[in-house]
């Protein structure tokens, strides 16, 4: 594929297969190469120094320069970033060792580095995100609020607004454009992990940053931890020095797996979503189930589904009439589902958010003890339904 900037607009399916691979033909390669060098030869002292300066201050390696040191820059990671950026309709992307490392860098870049220590966080959020903000570990002060309360939560020193849609674990849909409008000049970070760039592109709706736990759908096979933020080059220049100084860069082997994972992302997401639709419909007919939480079955007053988000995705939560005891029985009697946290892989997972992923979430914001969250995989939906029937 030629330079994407000179080309016709391409569908997500084509980009998933080709984006970030533009330099391979000139290198005489077809598959993605993995560069494991921790250090790189310097052409001469001056060019070495210029390269170091460019990378340490958030830029990219200069022409005929050096990558200097792998905590600053790695070409395998950079290729994955270029690929993901195209899928997210972003100028660039910055990849991290985990989703939480990405979030940490965003918080440091937009609070500590700017002198604005306040963050507005729209609940519900991923448990780890909620916990990091609630503890104030990074020197931030947080105001948690509902999606329609963002303007009222803003302060003079608000550096970042944070939101997630579909929200975890209740899969409520939040209008990105509405939160962006309420945030005014404050940049908005959207955790796009659940939707993936196949179903939703936050930057198209005014968000400044689209974050992913790449551990989930982007990797898709449950064998790699990573995080990534798609954004403008200007914002990337704020994130990269923090990544360098805190040592949070993605490992090149992980970058290789994530980049390879992108090729099948649209196929996986659509197939898993089709399965989830069937499982959610069946669950909604079951007596033991008090409520099914699935986009399309939930209320959607802002009309997000079909506009901001192309489909419901492949995550389902249910609230069981039998509460915690029923959740215990369901999660331990399934045989095809794995009773485990995480999501987005080719195999189906099931867990109880109150006991696990949302355990550190305080008081009122904690999910119901009878809530069970499922990540639907690529198995036959009929087999998944039979497996759930056993546990209900
Ligand atoms: C898993 C997850 C994270 C954290 O990502 P890690 O890769 O585990 O650090 C953040 N947000 C959401 C929505 C997640 O599911």
Active site residues: 71, 126, 191, 216
pLDDT confidence bin for 2, thresholds 50/70/90:
very low
Q: Which of 131, 215, 217, 358 to mutate to test the pocket of ligand 1 (most atoms within 8 A of CB)?
A: 215
Ligand 1: atom nearest CA of 226 is 7
Average pLDDT score over residue span 358-387 = 90
| Ligand 1 binding pocket includes 358 (Cβ within 6 Å) | no
Nearest CA to ligand 1 atom 8: 99
CA 392 – ligand 1 centroid, Å: 28
For residue 357, the model assigns a pLDDT of 78
For residue 360, the model assigns a pLDDT of 76
Q: Helices 381-391 & 265-283, crossing angle to 10 degrees? A: 40
Q: What gap in Å lies between CA 369 and CA 356, rounded to an integer?
A: 10
pLDDT at 363 over 80: no
Nearest CA to ligand 1 atom 12: 126
For residue 6, the model assigns a pLDDT of 54
How many CA atoms lie within 13 Å of 108's alpha carbon, on the beta-carbon side?
A: 20
Q: Count other Cβ atoms within 10 Å, centred on residue 142.
A: 19
Q: What is the pLDDT of residues 106-145, one digit of tens each?
A: 999 999 999 999 999 999 999 999 999 999 999 999 999 9
Q: State percent of the chain over pLDDT 90.
A: 90
pLDDT confidence bin for 296, thresholds 50/70/90:
confident
Contact assessment for residue 313 and residue 354, using Cβ atoms and an 8 Å cutoff: no
Contact assessment for residue 53 and residue 68, using Cβ atoms and an 8 Å cutoff: no
| Ligand 1 binding pocket includes 225 (Cβ within 6 Å) | yes
For residue 3, the model assigns a pLDDT of 53
| Ligand 1 binding pocket includes 126 (Cβ within 6 Å) | yes
Q: Which of 213, 349, 359 to mutate to test the pocket of ligand 1 (most atoms within 8 A of CB)?
A: 213
For the chain, the average pLDDT equals 95
Cis upstream peptide for 124 (omega within 30°): yes
Q: State percent of the chain over pLDDT 70.
A: 98
Q: Helices 99-107 & 127-135, crossing angle to 10 degrees? A: 30
Among 195, 228, 196, residue whose Cα is nearest residue 209: 228
pLDDT at 97 over 70: yes
Among 306, 298, 291, 314, residue whose Cα is nearest residue 370: 291
Q: What is the pLDDT of residues 231-269, one digit of tens each?
A: 999 999 999 999 999 999 999 999 999 999 999 999 999
CA 185 – ligand 1 centroid, Å: 26
Q: What is the pLDDT of residues 299-322, one digit of tens each?
A: 898 899 999 999 999 999 999 999
Cis upstream peptide for 169 (omega within 30°): yes
Q: What gap in Å lies between CA 91 and CA 83, rounded to an integer?
A: 11
Q: What is the pLDDT of residues 14-72, one digit of tens each?
A: 999 999 999 999 999 999 999 999 999 999 999 999 999 999 999 999 999 999 999 99
Ligand 1: atom nearest CA of 100 is 9
pLDDT confidence bin for 5, thresholds 50/70/90:
low
Ligand 1: atom nearest CA of 164 is 13
Average pLDDT score over residue span 193-215 = 98
């Amino acid at each position: 594929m030629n330079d994407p900037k000179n080309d016709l607009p391409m569908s997500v399916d084509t980009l998933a297969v080709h984006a970030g691979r533009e330099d391979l033909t000139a290198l005489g390669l077809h598959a993605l190469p993995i560069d494991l060098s921790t250090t790189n030869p310097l052409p001469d002292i001056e060019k070495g120094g210029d390269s170091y300066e460019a990378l340490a201050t958030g830029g990219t390696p200069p022409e005929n320069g050096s990558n200097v040191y792998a905590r600053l820059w790695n070409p395998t990671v950079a290729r994955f970033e270029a690929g993901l950026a195209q899928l997210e309709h972003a100028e660039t992307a910055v990849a991290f060792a985990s989703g939480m490392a990405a979030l940490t860098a965003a918080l440091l870049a937009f609070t500590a580095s700017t002198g604005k220590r306040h963050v507005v966080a729209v609940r519900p959020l991923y448990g780890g995100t909620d916990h990091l903000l609630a503890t104030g570990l990074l020197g931030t002060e947080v105001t948690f609020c509902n999606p329609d309360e963002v303007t009222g939560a803003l302060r003079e020193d608000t550096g970042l607004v944070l939101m997630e849609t579909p929200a975890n674990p209740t899969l409520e849909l939040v209008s990105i454009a509405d939160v962006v409008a309420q945030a005014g000049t404050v940049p908005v970070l959207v955790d796009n992990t659940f939707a993936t760039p196949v179903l939703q592109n936050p930057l198209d709706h005014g968000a400044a940053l689209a974050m992913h736990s790449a551990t989930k759908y982007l990797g898709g096979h449950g064998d790699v931890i990573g995080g990534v933020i798609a954004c403008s080059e200007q914002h990337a220049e704020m994130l990269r020095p923090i990544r360098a100084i805190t040592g949070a860069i993605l490992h090149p082997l992980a970058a290789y797996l994530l980049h390879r994972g992108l090729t099948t992302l649209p196929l996986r997401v659509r197939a898993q979503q089709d399965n989830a639709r069937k499982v959610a419909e069946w669950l909604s007919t079951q007596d033991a189930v008090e409520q099914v939480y699935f986009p399309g079955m939930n209320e959607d007053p802002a009309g997000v589904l079909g506009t901001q988000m192309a489909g419901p995705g492949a995550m389902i939560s249910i609230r069981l009439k039998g509460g915690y005891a029923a959740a215990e029985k369901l999660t331990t009697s399934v045989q095809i589902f794995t009773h485990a946290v995480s999501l987005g892989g080719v195999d189906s997972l099931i867990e109880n958010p109150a006991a696990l992923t949302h355990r550190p979430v305080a008081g009122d914001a904690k999910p119901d003890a009878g809530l069970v969250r499922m990540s639907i995989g690529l198995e036959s939906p009929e087999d998944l339904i039979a497996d759930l029937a056993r546990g209900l």
